[in-house]
Amino acid sequence: MDAACENLDAFMASLQTSTRRLGDGEWGLTLDAAGFPLEVGVVLRGGLLRAQAAVLPTGVIDPHQLLFWNRQAPFVCFAENAAGEVFVCGELPLEAVVPGTLDSFLGLLLASATRAREVAIGDPGAA
């Protein structure tokens, strides 16, 4: 886990966005998804790198669309909390916590969130 922490610290420092170290094995970063901030939490826990971000409030997108998209991208999926708020989340094994994989993983997370927000606000090219 020490190597994964070091890799994540270096990777986060290399990003051209707001990042912060929140605690032991925990980071936060702010990205732009469809013109709105996306607050992503990243944590090393249980032998995995886990990331998640709240994407949309309750009831603004068809849950069936989210299920359809869940079959399209590896490592990343949509979920809802008990209140129905839509999250994008993903996991990687610790041995995959290297710069190239981290970049692809966070890119998929951001692309998924952006797509969902664009569909929710009615961007015709997003579906």
The predicted model gives 8-26 an average pLDDT of 92
Average pLDDT over residues 6-34: 93
Position 75 confidence tier, pLDDT thresholds 50, 70, 90: very high
Total structural domains within the chain = 1
Mean pLDDT computed over every residue of the chain: 93
**Domain interval for residue 47:** 2-120
Q: Are 18 and 30 in contact (CB under 8 A)?
A: yes
* CATH value at residue 69: 3.30.1460.10
Which amino acid, 98? Answer: V
Q: Which two tokens stand for residue 26?
A: 């925990």
125 in any annotated domain: no
User: What's residue 127's pLDDT?
Assistant: 60
pLDDT by residue (tens digit) across 42-69? 999 999 999 999 999 999 999 999 999 9
SS3 annotation, the chain:
CHHHHHHHHHHHHHCCCEEEEEECCEEEEEEEECCEEEEEEEEEECCEEEEEEEEECCCCCCHHHHHHHHCCCCCEEEEECCCCCEEEEEEEEHHHCCHHHHHHHHHHHHHHHHHHHHHHCCCCCCC
Side-chain-side CA neighbours of residue 20 (13 Å): 9
In a domain, 97, yes or no: yes
Q: Where does the pLDDT of residue 2 fall: very low under 50, low under 70, confident under 90, or very high at 90 and above? A: confident
* pLDDT at 124 exceeding the cut of 70: no
pLDDT score of 68: 95
User: Is 127 among the domain residues?
Assistant: no
Q: Is residue 58 part of a domain?
A: yes
What is the pLDDT at residue 73?
A: 87
- Asked which of 11-15, 37-41, 71-75, 119-123 is least confident by mean pLDDT, the reply is 119-123
- 99 occurs within a structural domain: yes
